[in-house]
Structure 1
Amino acid sequence: MNELTILISCTDQVGLVTNITRVLAAHQLNIIAMREFVDEANEAFFTRIACTGELTEPAKLKNQLLENLPGAAEVNLIGQAEKQIAVLVTKEYHCLAEILIKNQFRTLGADVKCVIGNYESLREFTEKLGIPYFYVSHADKDKSQFENEIKTIINQFGVDYLVLAKFMRILSVDFVKDYSGKIINIHHSFLPAFIGANPYRQAFERGVKIIGATAHFVTDNLDEGPIITQHTTHIDHNFGVKEMVRAGKEIEKKVLLDALELIFEDRVFVTGNKTIVFK
Structure 2
Amino acid sequence: MKKLIQEQIQSFQESNENKGRLLISCPDQPGIVSHVSDFLFKHGANIIESSQYSTNPEGGMFFIRIEFDCPKLRSKEVELREQFHMIAEKFSMDWKFTFGYEVKKTAIFVSKELYCLRELLWEWQNGDLMTDIALVVSNHEDSRNIVESLGIPFYHIPASKENRAEVEERQLQLLKEYNVDVIVLARYMQILTPTFVEAHPFKIINIHHSFLPAFVGARPYERAYDRGVKLIGATSHYVTNDLDEGPIIEQDIMRVDHRDNVKDMKKIGRSVERSVLARAVKWHLEDRVIVHENKTIVF
The TM tier, using the shorter chain, reads: over 0.9
Aligned to 1:72: 92
Deviation at 1:60, TM superposition (A): 3.5
Q: Find runs of 4+ consecutive structure 1 residues off by over 4 angstroms.
A: none
* Secondary structure of the structure 1 residue equivalent to 2:66: strand
- Between the aligned partners of 2:137 and 2:264, the Cα distance in structure 1 is 29
Aligned position for 1:44: 61
From 242, 246, 266, the equivalent of 2:287 is 266
The answer (yes or no) to whether the contact 1:66–1:75 under 8 Å persists in 2 is no
Return the match for 2:221 from 186, 196, 200: 200
Would you say 1:157 and 2:173 are equivalent positions?
no
- Identify which of 127, 138, 144 aligns with 2:159: 138
In the other structure, the counterpart of 1:82 is 103
- CA offset at residue 63 of structure 1? 4.3
Residue number among 116, 125, 146 corresponding to 1:95 in the alignment = 116
Identity, in percent, stands at 40
* Farther-moved stretch of structure 1 (96-105 vs 36-45): 36-45
Partner of 1:58: 77
Decide which of 21, 27, 30 is 2:37's aligned counterpart: 21
Q: Does 1:113 align with 2:134?
A: yes
Unaligned stretches of 5+ residues in structure 2: 1-16
Whole-Å separation in 1 of the counterparts to 2:159 and 2:234: 26
**Which is further off, 19-28 or 33-42?**
33-42
Tell me, which stretches of 5 or more residues in structure 1 are unaligned?
Answer: none
Distance in 1 (alpha carbons) for counterparts of 2:193 and 2:67: 37
Look up the SS of the partner of 2:246 in the other structure: coil
Further displaced range: 68-77 or 179-188: 68-77
Q: Secondary structure at the match of 1:35?
A: strand
Identify which of 203, 208, 217 aligns with 1:187.
208
In structure 1, C-alpha distance between the alignment counterparts of 2:116 and 2:219, rounded to whole Å: 17
Q: CA deviation at 1:188?
A: 0.2
Name the Cα RMSD after superposition: 1.6
- Is 1:128–2:149 an aligned residue pair? yes
SS, match of residue 52 in structure 2: strand
Q: Equivalents in 2 of 1:64, 1:12: separation in Å? A: 21
2:187–2:207 Cα contact (<8 Å) kept: yes
Q: 1:57 & 1:114 partners in 2: Cα distance?
A: 32
Cα distance in 2 for partners of 1:116, 1:63 equals 37
**Residue 140 of structure 1: how far off its partner (Å):** 8.8
TM-score when normalising by structure 2: 0.89
Cα distance, 1:21–1:140 mapped onto 2, change above 3 Å:
closer
Native 8 Å contact 2:32 2:91 kept in 1? no
TM-score, normalised to structure 1's length?
A: 0.95
The one-letter code of the counterpart of 1:10 is: C
Distance change in 2, residues 1:42/1:215 (3 Å): farther
Between the aligned partners of 1:27 and 1:259, the Cα distance in structure 2 is 32
Q: 1:42 offset after TM fit, Å?
A: 5.8
Deviation of the 1:126 alpha carbon: 1.3
AA aligned opposite 1:16: I
Alignment map for 1:236-251 (pairs within 5 Å): 236-251=257-272
Partner of 2:188 in structure 1?
167
Tell me which moved more, 96-105 or 266-275: 96-105
Superposition deviation, residue 263 in structure 1:
0.7
Q: Distance in 2 between matches of 1:6 and 1:265?
A: 11
- DSSP-derived class of the 2:216 partner: coil
Cα separation, 2, equivalents of 1:197 and 1:141: 19
The alignment partner of 2:69 has SS state of: strand
Query: Equivalents in 2 of 1:45, 1:87: separation in Å?
Result: 33
Cα offset for 1:39? Answer: 1.4
**How many residues are paired up?**
278
Work out the CA distance in 2 between the residues paired with 1:197 and 1:169: 11
- CA 1:272–1:42: 2 relative to 1, 3 Å: farther
Map Cα deviations across residues 103-133 of structure 1 (whole Å, 9 max, x no partner).
Answer: 2333211111111000111111111122111
More helix by share: 2
